A and B are shown apart, each in its own frame.
Chain A
C-alpha cells in the first residue's frame, strides 16, 4: 500500500493510505504509527492514527516538511508488512438498565429478541479504528451489519460515560458524559477515560475489543471495585494470526 503525502500546514504531514474504512488500510496506519513511535525522528512531536491516514506533527524549527516526508518514507520501506501484536480488551457490559436508552426500540426495529440482539453485539470482535471526538472515545469497526442503525436526528443532551453505543456502521464506548446522537443499548462500569488514573486512557487505536454480557449485580460489584481503586481488566496480548 503506497501512501500519499499531503502537507498539512508547516507543522504537520498527513500520510494517507486510501479513502475507505477497512481493516487493512487501518492496519497500515497503525503499523506506521508504531514504527515512528519506536524510532521517532528529531523534531517529531506526535502522531495521530485515524481510519485511513496518519497525522504526523513536528516542530518546523527542528525539521522541514520535505525532510519529514523522507523520514516517513524510510520508515515505510523498512516495515516488513508483518503485523505487530495487538491488545484485546474484554469489556463487561450490562445490556439494559438506565443507559440502554434505545435497546427496546432497536429490538423492535430489527425484529430481534433482547437475547438475540445481545448475542449479536457481544459475539463480534471489534477494532479501535481511532480515538477522537472526546478524550478516550474509541470509534469501533466490526459491528454486525444487522445492528447498523442511523444516528438520531436530534442528539440527546446528556448520555452517561460508559454507555455502549451504535452510530451507523460503528460501535462505541462513551468515554465522557455528554450530548450524543448515537443509539445506546447498555453500559460498562469501565472508564475509557479517567484523568486521575496513571494511564488515563484505556483504549488506543489498533486495540481489539469484545463485549462480555454481565448481570446488573455484576455491574454493581465491578463499579464498587473500580471506585475502590482496583483494576478489574487487563488486556490480552494477541499475536496477528490469533485475531478474530
Chain B
C-alpha cells in the first residue's frame, strides 16, 4: 500500500511530531513547523497525534494512492482537487485508489500539511519518522520528496468517516505582535538596542527554512560581542550573529550555538511566526513568563476544543425529492424574462 508522489513542491518532507531527548547528542527534534496544523490534519483523518504526514512549503504537489483513504490538507488556504473536483482545506475527504489528488500553492501561509488515514509508514529512525533534512535522517532517505517517490502507508485505525471542525477555523492574525521573553543573553545588548527590539518593525526575509528564519530590521549590535561560549538552543530563540540581523531558530535548529540569544519567541506564537509569508512586517512585544505560560495553556486548550469538536460531514444523497426541495435557481422568479421561448414551449 503506497502513496505515490506524481509531482512535488520544492520542500515536501515526512514529519511526525519529531525526535525527543536527543538534543544532548546534537540532534534537534525536527517535526512540524506548525504543530497545531499538523495535529489538526491527523485528527481529521482519525490518526493518533504522532502519525507521520507530509509537510510542504508553499506548493504541495500531486499524489496518488493504490488503496482508498481519507486525507486532509491543513496549514492555510490553497487549491485542492481530486480528479479535477475542487475540495476545501481543513476537512477530510475520500480519495479512491488511482485518483489524483492535487494540492496547489498556499495563499496565506507558508507551511501546509497533507495527512492520510493510516499515516506515512516510513521506518522509525531513532524513535521518529520525522525528516531531519540537515543531517539526512528519517523520512524517505532523509531528504525532500520528488516525483516518482513511493511512500508506504500505515494501517488505518480511526472510524471511516470524513470530518470537519464544528465551526470554521480562525486564521492566524499576522498583524498581532509576536510575544517574546527576554533572554537568556539580553544582557549582551545595550538598553537602547534592546529597545529597538520592540519599538521597530522587523520583516520576514526569504532567507528561511526549517532551521531558522532571518529577519530584516534595525541593526542589533551586541555591546558585549556576538561570540559567546556555545550553549544550548531551543526553537524560538532569537540569535544575533555578528551581522546584527536577528535569526529566529526553528524546528530543525542546531542544538548548540555561539551567538547571544537576545530573546525567545513564546511557544504559543512560534507557529504563527513560521506561517508569516515572506515580506510580512512584524512587531515583537515583551511579556512576562507567567503570561507566556498562560498563552501556552490557552493555545493547547483551543486546539483541544477544535479537535474534540470535529463533526462528521453530512452525506448528501442526490434524490429527485431532495433536488426539488432545493431552490436551485435562487433569485430568478420570472423564467420568461430570461428565456421566453423555453417558457412558451412549455405551454404548448
Give the interface of A toward B (CB within 8 A): 6-12, 14, 16, 19-21, 33, 45-55, 57, 60-61, 64-66, 130-137, 139, 175-176, 193, 195, 200-201, 204-205
Contacts and interface: CB of A to CB of B under 8 A. Distances in A.
The 4 closest A-B pairs by CB, nearest first: A55-B232, A132-B256, A9-B264, A6-B184
B236 interface: yes
A191 to B, nearest CB: 13
A11 B270 CA distance: 12
A22 to B, nearest CB: 10
Interface stretch (B23-31, B102-110, B322-330): B23-31
B234 A46 contact: no
B297 A9 contact: no
Interface in B126-150: 126, 135, 137
Contacts of B137: 135, 195
Contacts of B261: 8
A7 B183 contact: yes
Interface in B281-307: 289-290, 292-293, 295-297, 300
B254 A133 contact: yes
A131 B231 CA distance: 10
Contacts of B185: 6
Interface-centre pick from A46, A48, A200, A201 (highest chain B CB count, 10 A): A48
Contacts of B237: 8-9
Given A20-B229, A48-B255, A9 B25 contact: no
Contacts of A55: 23, 231-234
26 contacts: A6-B184, A7-B289, A8-B183, A8-B234, A8-B237, A11-B236, A11-B267, A14-B184, A19-B229, A45-B20, A46-B24, A48-B255, A48-B256, A51-B230, A55-B233, A60-B293, A130-B230, A131-B25, A131-B26, A132-B255, A132-B256, A135-B26, A135-B137, A136-B25, A136-B26, A137-B26
Given A52-B229, A135-B27, 5 more contacts: A7-B181, A10-B181, A16-B231, A50-B256, A135-B25
Contacts of A11: 234, 236, 267, 296
Contacts of A205: 24
Contacts of A47: 24
A11 B23 CA distance: 14
Contacts of A136: 25-26
A51 to B, nearest CB: 5
B191 interface: no
B186 to A, nearest CB: 9
A52 B230 CA distance: 9
A195 to B, nearest CB: 6
A132 B231 CA distance: 9
B296 A50 contact: no
B21 interface: yes
A83 to B, nearest CB: 19
B21 A64 contact: no
B120 interface: no
B266 interface: yes
A131 B24 contact: yes
Nearest to B291: A10
A57 B23 CA distance: 10
B25 A204 contact: yes
Contacts of A14: 183-184, 231-232
B265 interface: yes
B125 interface: yes
Given A50-B256, A135-B27, A195-B125, A61 B21 contact: no
B232 A50 contact: yes
Contacts of A8: 181, 183-184, 234, 237, 261, 264
B50 to A, nearest CB: 15
Contact of B234 (A12, A64, A65): A12
A10 B267 contact: yes
A15 to B, nearest CB: 10
A195 B137 CA distance: 8
Given A50-B231, A132-B230, A200-B126, A10 B289 contact: yes
